[in-house]
Amino acid sequence: MDNSASYKPISQIVGWESARTYEPGFVSYFPRAGHDDEPGTYPASAIESAQRQMLRAAAFETGVIEQLYESRTGATMSVASEGEGWEESLADAGKNAPRSFHDQLRGYELARDFARSKDEQPLTESFIREIHRIATASQDTFSAQTQLGVREQKLEHGSYKRSQNQVTNRFGQIMKFCPPGDVASEMSTAINIYRNFDSGGSVVVESAFLHWAIAHIHPFTDGNGRVARIIASIPILREVDLPLLIFSDRKQRYFQALEAADQGDPQQWVSFCNARIADSVVLFRNLTDASAAPNSTDVLDDIERVLRAQHDQSEPALVCAERVRDYLFDKMEKDFATHLQTSPVTVSVSRTRHYVPHDDRWRSFEDDQATFELSTTDPLPTSVSISLAIRYAATASNTYSAQAVALGRKDTIEIHLARAQVELRAEDCSPTLSTEALLRLDVFMESLIKHVIKDLSLEVSALAEAHGKMPT
């Protein structure tokens, strides 16, 4: 019995004409560059820093998806932010990780430059082949199934395949990709469809089509997934200067959605891309806020002189909320200790159960609120506090929220800070915190810590000025 499926030409795949999606409000939610005194804006340098981190995160995760190397907890953020020890984190991911990552990053950078070009150059086959040449430059061979078994064969960079390739899907069926002799014509057809595509003005649909077309044709012997994700980033890069970022722990749903598009139902795939792009814009805004926040090291120096199942929800909501609480509060306490270890500032921590007015939406639980108090002693004793409360939704669509409440030095003043709030989907909290959840919580904490240290600096300076003893 033949357990294989022959290739279906691009022109015979239906459903794309009716594929639509809601737009996640790119322009309205996207951070705007402006001057320091202009409300609601960010320094251009903060936006550029966040954009670079998103591009580096996409370049790192694309290799993890292809199993070129592994990703340990925190590795993506470390590599993306180029923080202390990021090169060691990259090296620990695997022997070929550094070279593969830099190849992939160069590919994303070329796509970004292409998208930014003022004359909006048309997408061509030669450009796609150039992306393949760059993104796989350090890969010498690929594993191929031959009559003698699996053998390593030389990878031709930037050239279409010369032999048939195929994959076994999750149902054990062999899926054959485009025959080598038809690749050029199929790629030409795909590009022509894209150029004349009626997407309803949706860059999400355009991005989804480009990715699917390249993955469906599989024009190269290896590296097709990497090329598809890079090329699919071009419409998004043109719109909001962000890549299509797919985290590796969403791999199962990612492939399922692509398979649905192959079967003539692209809506599931478009919706998957839409969710990833919407999440990326939120993550980008969080990164921008963290980049714009004052440097905690500099602020502490001033004080010394005068801080993602991909799994379906299968656990009780309380268990997931406790998982978020334990990670957030424990890491916040450790991060404060790291920031303050050589400074004249001390931190005390208390945990309680916070009060939530009874309604049908939110629930509180044991030790769901932590208060961090930073203080100085003589000759300028003062303190500031920040309080974080975790609460979870009582509905089926459980969302876990970490919301900051700033507490004044004397009277308690509850201020719900719009920038100091993060909401996580249930799927990102079970059975473990996803890569994206960890990234968002880490960025959230970094921003809070920097701001509360800055608040303490202002308090210390105010006291010093009142006593007429500011440093010269």
Query: Is residue 245 domain-shared with residue 305, that is, in the same domain?
Result: no
Query: Is residue 217 domain-shared with residue 330, that is, in the same domain?
Result: no
Q: For 321-335, what is each residue's pLDDT tens digit? A: 888 889 999 999 999
**Residue-by-residue DSSP string for 317-360:** HHHHHHHHHHHHHHHHHHHHHHHHTTSS-EEEEEEEPPP----S
Question: Which secondary structure element, helix H or strand E, spans residue 52, and what is its range?
Answer: helix 44-65
With tokens 């894209």, the residue in question is: 194
Would 24 be classed as within a structural domain? yes
What span, in angstroms and rounded, lies between the C-alpha atoms of 65 and 60?
9
Give the range among 50-54, 66-70, 146-150, 459-463 with minimum mean pLDDT: 146-150
Query: Is residue 271 domain-shared with residue 161, that is, in the same domain?
Result: yes
Query: Is residue 142 domain-shared with residue 17, that is, in the same domain?
Result: yes
Report, as an integer, the average pLDDT of 458-462. 88
Report, as an integer, the average pLDDT of 100-109. 97
Would 471 be classed as within a structural domain? no
Report, as an integer, the average pLDDT of 132-153. 82
Report, as an integer, the average pLDDT of 62-70. 94
Query: Is residue 250 domain-shared with residue 236, that is, in the same domain?
Result: yes
- Domain of residue 418, residue span: 295-466
User: Which domain-ending residue is among 290, 315, 343?
Assistant: 290
Neighbours of 131 (CB within 10 A): 25
Q: How confident is the model at residue 310 (pLDDT cuts 50, 70, 90)?
A: very low
DSSP 3-state assignment of 168?
strand
User: Which domain-ending residue is among 255, 290, 325?
Assistant: 290
Would 236 be classed as within a structural domain? yes
Report, as an integer, the average pLDDT of 287-305. 76
User: Which domain-ending residue is among 236, 261, 290?
Assistant: 290
- Check residues 415 and 374 and name the one with the higher pLDDT: 374
Query: Is residue 149 domain-shared with residue 240, that is, in the same domain?
Result: yes
Q: How confident is the model at residue 15 (pLDDT cuts 50, 70, 90)?
A: confident
What span, in angstroms and rounded, lies between the C-alpha atoms of 112 and 75?
23
Element counts in the chain: helices (H) and strands (E): 14, 13
Query: Is residue 281 domain-shared with residue 413, that is, in the same domain?
Result: no
Query: Is residue 113 domain-shared with residue 130, that is, in the same domain?
Result: yes
Rounded to two decimals, the pTM is: 0.74
Q: According to the model, what pLDDT value does residue 368 have?
A: 85
Radius of gyration of the chain (CA): 25
CATH number at residue 278: 1.10.3290.10
Total number of domains in the chain: 2
Query: Is residue 318 domain-shared with residue 257, that is, in the same domain?
Result: no
Q: How confident is the model at residue 59 (pLDDT cuts 50, 70, 90)?
A: very high
Query: Is residue 286 domain-shared with residue 305, that is, in the same domain?
Result: no
Would 472 be classed as within a structural domain? no
Query: Is residue 138 domain-shared with residue 284, that is, in the same domain?
Result: yes
Q: Is the pLDDT of residue 456 over 60?
A: yes
- Check residues 93 and 407 and name the one with the higher pLDDT: 93
Q: According to the model, what pLDDT value does residue 350 have?
A: 93
Query: Is residue 67 domain-shared with residue 134, that is, in the same domain?
Result: yes
Q: How confident is the model at residue 379 (pLDDT cuts 50, 70, 90)?
A: confident
